[in-house]
Structure 1
Amino acid sequence: MCCSVGFARSLGLALVPLAFCCILANLLLLFPMGEITYIQQDRLASYIWYFGGLGGGGLLMLIPAVVFITLGKCSCCWNESLMMCGSVLAAVVGLVGSGYCFVVSGFSLVQGPQCFTSLGWSYPFADQGGRYLLQPETWSRCLQPVHIVEWNVTLQCVLLGLAVLEFIICLLQLGNGLVNVICRPCCYKQEYSLNA
């Protein structure tokens, strides 16, 4: 049990910086090139307002992080099993949050940014199914904000990567918690019968 609790705590500690990086990346998406003009004029891509990084990969991910870190504070047996069940539920919350972040970032990448082109404000890459990502020569169609395609692609890819890492960490704890919840009573009965 001590090993699995230590493992869960280390996973929780790993989730904290990932969650804060997701929050930061999402906040940067709200202010292209550090400017507030575009948020005031509602010129941001629609998927940015789904807050995949801020909500799913960020704030929601702090729930499993806190649960994993505080795991094993009580030494009685019933509470150990109960806490492992709690960690399993927290891991599921983490899987949902990281999955949400991944899906929103993916859709945002496929849609591309909203920007000012020679035809006015539009989503010039929305009908390409993400092919523009492999055609950087077309990115100059976006005249304003300057370098918005690079800005969005970089931050959305960061969010995708962070969401994958968070998903893996929560999946590891889900497996760890389930093994302990299922095997702990068996091991406990064996210990009891050997001592008797």
Structure 2
Amino acid sequence: MCTAKCSKCIAFSLYPFVFISILCNIVLFFPAGSVKYAQEGHITEEVKYMGGLLGGGIMVLISSIYIHFTGENGCCGNHFGMFLSIAFAAVGVAGALYSFTVAMVGLNSGPLCYAEDKWTTPFKHSNTSYLADASLWKNCVEPKNVVQFNVGLFLTLMATSCLQALLCAVQMINGLAGCLFGACNKNKQNEVPLSS
């Protein structure tokens, strides 16, 4: 597969992951499907860092748009365009890593919830991993099912950001090949037919 076509394929693969990252981050602001907790400021701290929105969302979207352009005829599908795609793919990797790190810290710390008559993060400094012991989850009285809510969305963000980082890393290698050997993005109309 030529490097320009590979760039287009990578960009089209990144778009759904960008959408998933943004969606997960937005949904995290509304535990139990209610705006009440966001209005009162009772949101898990790591959600406010917006790893899925800024990192896995905007940063990877910028990268994927440019990577998409490297696959177009007469646009960025040349040696210099492919060289720039390496830098844009690196931005995508950085965004995915930011999203992954925020999600991992959020998963490790656990959710902010109403437990023991106060709003707290009851699992943050616990000696036992709340992920391994589901019986601890009932300690969070409010929002309802907030532990499952946060775990599911943070795990989704982690998986999505891993795939984003992998695709952007592949584009860095693809961009290097395109920079060295050309994007091989030519119109079939310009090809000279072989005489028999």
Normalised by the shorter chain, which TM-score bucket? Answer: 0.7 to 0.9
For residues 88 and 161 of structure 1, the distance between their equivalents in structure 2, rounded to whole angstroms, comes to 23
Unaligned runs of 5+ in 2: 183-196
Residue aligning to 1:140: 138
Residue identity opposite 1:11 in structure 2: I
Unaligned runs of 5+ in 1: 185-196
Residue identity opposite 1:21 in structure 2: I
For residues 154 and 179 of structure 1, the distance between their equivalents in structure 2, rounded to whole angstroms, comes to 38
Residue identity opposite 1:47 in structure 2: E
| 8 Å contact from structure 1 (residues 142, 148) kept in 2 | yes
Structure with the bigger RCO (C-alpha within 8 Å, sep 6+) is 2
Matched, 1:14 2:29: no
Matched, 1:97 2:95: yes
Identity, in percent, stands at 31
1:64–1:129 CA distance, 2 compared to 1 (3 A): farther
Matched, 1:152 2:150: yes
For residues 79 and 168 of structure 1, the distance between their equivalents in structure 2, rounded to whole angstroms, comes to 22
Residue aligning to 1:87: 85
1:4–1:49 CA distance, 2 compared to 1 (3 A): same
Residue identity opposite 1:39 in structure 2: A
Equivalences for residues 24-35 of structure 1 within 5 A: 24-35=23-34
Residue aligning to 2:194: none
Count of residue pairs the alignment pairs up = 183
Equivalences for residues 117-132 of structure 1 within 5 A: 117-128=115-126, 131-132=129-130
Give me the CA root mean square deviation: 1.9
Q: Deviations 1:15-59 (Å, cap 9, x if unpaired)?
A: 111001100000010001210000001001111100000110011
Residue aligning to 2:186: none
1:130–1:71 CA distance, 2 compared to 1 (3 A): farther
Q: Which runs of 4+ in 1 moved over 4 A?
A: none
Instruction: Report the CA distance between 1:163 and its aligned residue.
Output: 0.2
- Structure with bigger helix share is 1
For residues 127 and 173 of structure 2, the distance between their equivalents in structure 1, rounded to whole angstroms, comes to 35
SS at match of 1:27: helix
Instruction: Report the CA distance between 1:182 and its aligned residue.
Output: 3.1
Matched, 1:57 2:60: no
Q: Deviations 1:137-195 (Å, cap 9, x if unpaired)?
A: 100000000100000000000000000000000000001111222344xxxxxxxxxxx
Q: With structure 2 as the length reference, what TM-score do the two structures score?
A: 0.88
Residue aligning to 1:190: none
SS at match of 2:2: helix
Instruction: Report the CA distance between 1:124 and its aligned residue.
Output: 0.2
Q: Deviations 1:81-123 (Å, cap 9, x if unpaired)?
A: 1110111111000000000000000000011000001231111
SS at match of 1:127: coil
For residues 28 and 66 of structure 2, the distance between their equivalents in structure 1, rounded to whole angstroms, comes to 29
